Amino acid sequence: MTDINRGRRAPSPPPPFPGSHEKNITWPYWWNAPRPAVRPPELPTYAEKHALDRDHYEMCTAINRAYEMLDQQPEFIRRSVMGTITSLEHTNGAKRANMYLTKTFVERIFPRLDLVNAQYRLEARTLDNVNLFWSFNKLADLGRKETDHLAEDIAQFIALELGVISESSAADNLNDFKTALAMYRRAAEITRGFRQPVPTKGKKNLTLEDMTPVISRMFSPKWWQNRLRRYSAMWREHLRIAFGQVSKKDTPYASKNAVGDWREQKRRTREFLKGMELEDEEGNRISLIEKFDHSVANPAIRRCELMNRIRGFENICEQQGYVGEFYTMTAPSKYHATNKHGHRNPKWEGASPADTQKYLRRTWAAIRAKLARDGISIFGIRVAEPHHDATPHWHMLMFMKPEHVGAVREVMQGYVTKEDEHELVNARARKARFCVEAIDPEKGSATGYIAKYISKNIDGYALDDEIDDETKKPLKDVAASVSAWAARWRIRQFQFIGGAPVTVYRELRMMADHETAIGLSIEFAAVHDAADFGHWDEYVNAQGGPFVRRENLIVRNWYETNEALSPYGEEVIRIRGVYTPLVGIDCPIITRAKQWKIVRKQAVDLGLSGVDLKGAPAPSRSSVNNCTGPGIGPQDDGTGSSMAMPLTIADFKAMTRKERRRALKRIRQETRELRDARRPARADFGVDPEMAARMRDAARTALGFELSLGEIKFLLSGHAMKIGDEYFSGRSDGEIYSAKPPTDPLKRFEKLKRRYGPPPESERAAILRQYFENLKPEDGIDHSQI
């Protein structure tokens, strides 16, 4: 069709069909524009609804089952799980929180907790534990007082059972040995029923004298208190390891509770030592805390003695042409609760650090026996320290003859890699299980190889710039956690192998009498002089060398039995001196001439006769004896001294209001002046040397931290200082206590503003407020009504 047809224009095309395309229309207001029609809701089908109901029912069932499993755990585990659930619910929603409960806890965490609980709780009720079954299985939740009550109940039950046996034995006319044997068997049966070892001290064939103290312990409430306290603490720590709270992701080596308990125990021990004294037969007394600080119980002295002994071994090695080897022994994967990245190890079989230590001891006993059969002798030191998940491993510095190096390596590697050898698929895995490093004198001395591990396991001395390989934290900060780990699991951290005994070395240093030593024998004098000068290498050589047997020692300890028996009725054997077999045991040298006993510190005698009371406590101040008006308070007698005058109580009721305000103002002003006069100036603020020494000792012993004078002043001023991950403050008694972290003023203000401030306005209210604020008065709007 053309545009022009016979002189006429073609008609316009028809309008488009309605809805064939969108109309480009600009509406005056957005709310005038048409909106799409509302579609009806799509109702689920019967099959879909049934599937949704089934999934909902299964989820509810799984949640209920998970909560039932959670209720079986101790309170601190339930609190940790519920805290995680609440946090996930706030951040990721209820679905994510339920997934953590039904999947992570039920499938991954609960089996690990169940492995641990099965090692501590009672599984079956018997006639012996039916009354105490519930209380014993709640030990992980019981406090100190409840644990002591349970110990008393168990001890009382054993005492009643032994009473029945005693009566029946008397009726049957049994002799003492048979009666004691029946009592021992019954008490041991009950003790093992409560998962406690019988205190036989390793003896197998017990005599009547041996069974009596063992039976006395098993029905003693004090013995059961110590056992159950230790048992419950290990149970809680083992559960935290299984839960994952002891790892490089949370707290390495030991949990926060274990470190806190260790520090509190150190503090209580020092408080006890400060309140006690040592008294001899003549009544002379010395301070117990001073003797403690000057003994090997002091971490600094203990570290110095260990380093001196290691250096002595190295000198012997250099003198006699021996070589040194550094070994590292690690347990198989099934003993580790988490892997090196801090994740749960699926191969873990529920072993505790104490179980791993027993495995390492068994392995070392087999190695030592094999070397003895082959005629190979070694000497040195081994250090037990934890991985980040509290699993122990050993570092060993050993010295030997050069021709024995290959044999020792082969024997040790064979026994260490014997268990679960299928895991060692490559060289990296074999090195992780057993590592050997030859001591190279060009790289450093043998003492330098082991010095870091000794300092890390005691107080972190001289490790300010060292970083832990596993946790990537400063080694000085983790020293307290390592000490708490060793105390919680009762693991011996340091053990010397070979050489002469250190107890004889310490007794000879107490003697310090060359004339007496030379009078006994020349050999004895050589051993004594070497120990007196602190030369460990000369002492070992004088005793017979690093491979000397105990029966060939030149000097030995001399023991004596005390007249008084122990609380359990057994003889107490203590060291009294030393002797040499060359002269005979009948000629000992007494190094402990006095017998000391621990007594409570005496109170200071405040007798008035012949005592200068200058500086004595003054009477308490009040609004009466503080007044300086006529007839009130101290007066000048003309000699320059203050003389107490008879006090006259002012009649405040007779005063006018103006006079009372003037008197109150004068009292406050004088009180302020007196307080400012007694308070030292800020620039002259000093610290008592004894106070500073006490605080340094407390920080060094309990925290493993060396305080400076500025830090001591800061603590005494009432402020809290952060040491490691916790805050501490000082007091006037010279001790350091845990403190709460300081509150950020801005955070506190925001918290108070959210709690007591006006509620936040909504978006709609903000728009309306801005709209009305922009209106003008001529618009006819009454702003006061709005």
Q: What is the spatial distance between Cα 348 and Cα 351, in angstroms, rounded to a whole number?
A: 7
Q: How far apart are the first and last CA of the chain?
A: 70
DSSP 467: B
The dihedral formed by the CA atoms of 492, 498, 504 and 506, expressed in degrees to the nearest 10:
-50
Are the C-beta atoms of residues 375 and 281 closer than 8 Å to each other?
no
Label residue 288 exposed, middle or buried (CB < 10 Å: 0-12, 13-18, 19+). Answer: buried
Angle between helices 405-416 and 353-373 in degrees, nearest 10: 140
Per-position DSSP letters for 13-30, written without gaps between them: PPPPPTTSS------SST
Catalytic residue among 453, 461, 505, 579: 453
Which letter, b or e, does each residue of 573-587 get, where b requires 16 or more Cβ atoms within 10 Å of its Cβ?
Answer: eeebbbbbeeeeeee
Q: What is the spatial distance between Cα 558 and Cα 588, in angstroms, rounded to a whole number?
A: 7
DSSP 616: P
Largest CA distance in the chain: 156
Are the C-beta atoms of residues 466 and 355 closer than 8 Å to each other?
no
DSSP 253: S
Q: What is the spatial distance between Cα 781 and Cα 257, in angstroms, rounded to a whole number?
A: 66
How would you classify residue 222: left for phi > 0, otherwise alpha for psi between -120 and 50, otherwise beta? Answer: alpha
Cα–chain center distance at 722: 17
Per-position DSSP letters for 673-725, written without gaps between them: HHHHHHSPPSTT----HHHHHHHHHHIIIII--PPPHHHHHHHHTT--EEETT
Neighbour order of strands in the sheet with 589-590: 556-561, 573-579, 589-590
State yes or no: is 559 an active-site residue: no
Beta bridge partners of 212: none
Catalytic residue among 231, 327, 449, 461: 449
Are the C-beta atoms of residues 648 and 631 closer than 8 Å to each other?
yes
Are the C-beta atoms of residues 503 and 557 closer than 8 Å to each other?
yes
Are the C-beta atoms of residues 438 and 459 closer than 8 Å to each other?
no
State yes or no: is 453 an active-site residue: yes
Tokens of 654: 């007779």
> DSSP 3-state assignment of 738?
strand
Strand ranges inside 330-451, DSSP E: 379-386, 392-400, 434-438
Are the C-beta atoms of residues 575 and 557 closer than 8 Å to each other?
yes
Are the C-beta atoms of residues 350 and 116 closer than 8 Å to each other?
yes
Round the CA-based radius of gyration of the chain to a whole number and report it.
40
Q: What is the spatial distance between Cα 199 and Cα 211, in angstroms, rounded to a whole number?
A: 10
Are the C-beta atoms of residues 271 and 501 closer than 8 Å to each other?
no
Q: What is the spatial distance between Cα 81 and Cα 583, in angstroms, rounded to a whole number?
A: 69
DSSP 474: B
Are the C-beta atoms of residues 643 and 635 closer than 8 Å to each other?
yes
Are the C-beta atoms of residues 356 and 333 closer than 8 Å to each other?
no
Cα dist from 294 to 267, 289, 290, 707, whole Å: 18, 9, 6, 19
Query: Which positions are catalytic?
Result: 449, 453
